[in-house]
């Protein structure tokens, strides 16, 4: 993927809320853009079950956007759901991911284009949302494996994609079979950089791969043999090694 020059990053503040947006991709910024009801009223909203709730797609006047509301996972979600401790605007989940995605796109990495991010404060906590441009595919690695075995070239392409991230020191916090997407032409994309960061290369790269390996074992556990065994994993690692 070629590098993409982002437009100016601008900020809009209202009371205890703030949003960042790419001025080249959002010409009329407003907080309504993060609300599903706004797009539903325009007949532009498509909601699909997945992840920690539903994924919202917006198709309106040439826009093809994805709306994501930040929610917690695991046991803590029972108590905190979608709230996070506010420790400064730059450290909110949405603003941090927005800026990380902008950098990754400048480097030509296969990640979504960030459109806008916002947080809304309530006392000591905040809630947050992110808008990204929809990628050319919705086919996750998990869904592809459920449909049938993958070609060796696909496994190697997944490995090369991961190597491209690690080569730039990009640590994905939760790389799994649901946030790797496969394109029709052999492309591989990566989603969900919440809590991702850029750091010096090191042992964390192996931990990212181990997490992905566990995810693949989980999603293929009840499927026929040949979906993701030792041979397929070796192909992926060949791609990682070849992409360094």
Predicted confidence (pLDDT) per residue in 188-209, tens digit: 999 999 999 999 999 999 999 9
pTM of the model: 0.94
pLDDT at 78: 60
* Phi (first) and psi of residue 39, to 5 degrees: -75, -35
Q: Which one of the listed residues 22, 129, 174, 230 is annotated catalytic?
A: 174
**Mean pLDDT in each 10-residue stretch from start to end of the chain (244 residues)?**
76 95 93 96 90 82 94 68 94 98 97 98 96 97 97 98 98 97 97 97 98 97 94 98 86
Spatial separation of the C-alpha atoms in residues 94 and 98, rounded to whole Å: 6
Spatial separation of the C-alpha atoms in residues 33 and 116, rounded to whole Å: 9
Active-site residue flag, 129: no
Spatial separation of the C-alpha atoms in residues 63 and 76, rounded to whole Å: 35
What are the structural domain ranges in the chain? Answer: 9-133, 141-243
Task: State the Cα torsion 28-31-37-43 to the nearest 10°.
Answer: 10
Residue length, the chain?
A: 244
pLDDT at 82: 92
pLDDT at 91: 97
Q: Does domain 141-243 have CATH number 1.10.510.10?
A: yes
């Amino acid at each position: 993927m070629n590098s993409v020059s982002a437009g100016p990053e601008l900020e809009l503040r209202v009371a205890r809320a703030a949003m960042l947006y790419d001025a080249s991709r959002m010409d009329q910024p407003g907080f309504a853009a993060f609300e599903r009801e706004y797009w539903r009223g325009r007949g532009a909203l498509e909601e699909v079950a997945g992840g920690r709730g539903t994924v919202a797609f917006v198709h309106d006047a040439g826009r093809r956007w994805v709306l994501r509301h930040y929610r917690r996972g695991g046991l803590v979600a029972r108590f905190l759901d979608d709230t996070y401790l506010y420790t400064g605007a730059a450290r909110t989940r949405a603003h941090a991911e927005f800026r990380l995605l902008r950098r990754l796109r400048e480097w030509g990495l296969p990640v979504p284009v960030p459109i806008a991010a916002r947080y809304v404060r309530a006392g000591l906590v905040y809630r947050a949302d992110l808008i990204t441009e929809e990628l050319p595919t919705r086919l996750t690695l998990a869904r592809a494996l459920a449909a049938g075995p993958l070609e060796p070239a696909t496994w190697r392409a997944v490995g090369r994609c991961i190597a491209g991230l690690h080569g730039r020191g990009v640590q994905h916090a939760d790389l799994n079979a649901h946030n790797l997407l496969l394109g029709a032409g052999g492309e591989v994309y990566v989603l969900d950089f919440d809590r991702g960061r850029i750091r010096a290369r090191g042992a964390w790269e192996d931990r990212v791969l181990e997490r992905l390996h566990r995810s693949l074992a989980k999603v293929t556990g009840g499927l026929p043999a040949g979906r993701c065994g030792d041979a397929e994993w070796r192909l992926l690692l060949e791609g990682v090694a070849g992409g360094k």
